[in-house]
Amino acid sequence: MDNPKTHTLRRDGKRSLRFEGELLAECSSKSHTGPNQNRWTEIDIYQTKAGKHVVQIVRRTCWQGEHDTYQAELCEEPEDVYRFLVDAEDGLLTDLAKQALKEAGLDDLTFETVE
């Protein structure tokens, strides 16, 4: 990590999360569903200076009366990144989450290994 930056991530119902690190992945479902999409999800994955990961999920809306929602979680282990993404989507690993894991170099978490 050559030039870590200070990042501050907003979280609904919790204190904001501030850390030094780098952005590994930045994915959005807005382009997947067309330019007229009025609700979409954004997933960012960071690596901290200490080697941990931070995942941010932002759900965006353009609907009057609705508000964007913000989640962010510090993940001690790479497997925790997977768990946070799955828990945020009611037990499903979405295509957007798989894309974010791949961009972050964590795509091995998208496979279940069997013998």
Q: Are 110 and 98 in contact (CB under 8 A)?
A: yes
Question: How many angstroms separate the CA atoms of 85 and 93, rounded?
Answer: 7
Q: Is residue 114 very low, low, confident or very high in pLDDT (cuts 50, 70, 90)?
A: confident
Q: What's the pLDDT at 33?
A: 58
Q: What's the pLDDT at 71?
A: 97
58 exposure class (CB count in 10 Å sphere: 0-12, 13-18, 19+): middle
pTM: 0.90
Q: What's the pLDDT at 35?
A: 66
**pLDDT 10s digits, 30-79:** 876 566 778 899 999 999 999 999 999 999 998 899 999 999 999 999 99
